[in-house]
Amino acid sequence: MAHQWRGVIREYADRLPVTEATKVITLGEGGTPLVLAQKLSELTGSTVYLKVEGMNPTGSFKDRGMTMAMTAAVEAGAKAVVCASTGNTSASAAAYATAAGLKCAVLVPEGKISMGKLSQAIAHGATLLQVDGNFDNCLDIARKLGESYPVFLVNSVNPARIQGQKTGAFEIVDALGDAPDIHVLPVGNAGNISAYWKGYKEYSAPFESATAGTLPAVSTKTPAMWGFQAAGAAPFVAGHPITEPDTIATAIRIGNPASWDTAIAARDESGGFIDAVTDEEILDAHRWLSAKEGVFVEPGSAAGVAGLIKKHAAGEVPTGKTIVITVTGHGLKDPQWALRTEDGSEVQPVKVPNDVVTVASELGLEEN
C-alpha cells in the first residue's frame, strides 16, 4: 500500500494539532480531485477548477473535519458523540463514530431531509432524532448536551473540525503550485469558508509546527474568498440572523451561522465578499455541472457555481485568473433534483420493446 492516500491527518500531521502518539480515526478522507471545469473556463475566460468534495468517504467535505473531531473525541475518552445536522454532518459523524467505536446521536431539523443522508446515518447505527425546530435550534440543543451531559460535540463549533477542513486549501495549493486568485464556495454555517481561509493563510507564511519546527511558506499569495448563500437563508447578506431560513438547498438552510465572526474575517481579510443566489440559480448551476462538466453534486453544493455564473453575467469575474470552486457534496445524496426538468416535470425513461431495430430508430440511428 505504498502509494495509498492516508487521510488528511496523516498527510498533513505537521500542520495539525496531533502528535506521534495520537490514535487517528480515519476513513481515508481528502485527496479529492481538482477537476478542470472546461465549460466554466470557456464562459469566464479564467481557468476554473472544481474541488470535488463529493469524493470523500461519506460524500461531502464534512469528513475532513470529522476525522479530527472523532480523533479528539477518542483522545478525550468520550463514549458518545452528538451533532446537529442538516444531513451531511450526521452521515459523516455516524460513519466516523462507527470507525471509532463510539455511540452517535444526531439531531436533525423538522422538514425534509434527503434520503441519501438519512440512510447513511441509519446504516451506520446512529440514534437519529428529528427535532421540532430548525437547524439553529438543533445546534443549540447539541451544544447544551455537550456542555452538561457526557457526550462530545462534533459540530463545526468544535475547533478540531475547522482544523481538519483547512486541509482542503492545502490540497489545492499543492495541486496548483500556488494559491488560486479567487476561491468560491457555498456558505451555510460558515465553518468551511473559515477553514479554507485559515488553510490559505497558514500556507502563505512560515508555520510554527508543534512537531516539526518552523515550516516554510508554501504559497506566494492568498485568494479572495467569494462565498454564496441561498437567497432565503442569507444572514451574511442581510447583516443579521434569519429566523425562518428557507431554500431547497438544505445543506445551507441555516439562519444563524455558528462561525459568524471567522467568516466575516475571511471575507474582509481576503478582499472577498459573501453574496446570495436564488434557488432557481442554484438549480441551473446544478444542471450546468451535471450536463456540461460531468460533475454530479447535490443542490447546495452548486451555490458557488451559481454565484460565479451570476457574477460573470454582471461582468464582475476577471479574465486570465485561476479560480477554484469547492463543490461540497455528492449528487447521489439528493438525486431527486436530477429527475426534474427545467419546467418542473419529472423525467421518465422512454420504454421500448426488446428489439434492435426499434431501439436504433428511437436513438435516431440509421443502419450502415
- The stretch near ligand PLP (CB under 6 A) out of 22-30, 42-50, 295-303, 356-364 is 295-303
Q: Report the nearest approach of ligand PLP to the CB of residue 63 (Å).
A: 10
63 scored as a contact of ligand PLP (CB under 6 A): no
329 scored as a contact of ligand PLP (CB under 6 A): yes
9 scored as a contact of ligand PLP (CB under 6 A): no
Q: Which of 44, 46, 47, 192 binds ligand PLP (CB under 6 A)?
A: 192
> Minimal CB distance to ligand PLP: which residue?
329
252 scored as a contact of ligand PLP (CB under 6 A): yes
Q: Comparing C-alpha atoms, which of 147, 242, 124 is closest to residue 189?
A: 242
Residue number, 71 or 88, with CB nearest to ligand PLP: 88
Q: Which of 7, 30, 255, 300 binds ligand PLP (CB under 6 A)?
A: 300
Residue number, 187 or 218, with CB nearest to ligand PLP: 187
Query: CA 192 to CA 166: how far, in whole Å?
Result: 8
Q: Report the nearest approach of ligand PLP to the CB of residue 305 (Å).
A: 12
Q: Is 177 exposed, middle or buried (0-12, 13-18, 19+ CB in 10 A)?
A: exposed
Residue number, 256 or 322, with CB nearest to ligand PLP: 256
Cβ within 8 Å of residue 238, ≥6 positions away = none
277 scored as a contact of ligand PLP (CB under 6 A): no
Query: CA 136 to CA 254: how far, in whole Å?
Result: 7
Cα–Cα distance list, 206 to 190, 199, 230 (Å): 26, 12, 36
Assess contact for 64 and 167: CB atoms under 8 A.
yes
Please count the other Cβ atoms lying within 10 Å of the Cβ belonging to residue 153.
22
Q: Comparing C-alpha atoms, which of 225, 223, 244, 224 is closest to residue 234?
A: 244
The contact set with ligand PLP (CB under 6 A) reads 60, 62, 88, 156, 186-192, 251-252, 298, 300-301, 328-329
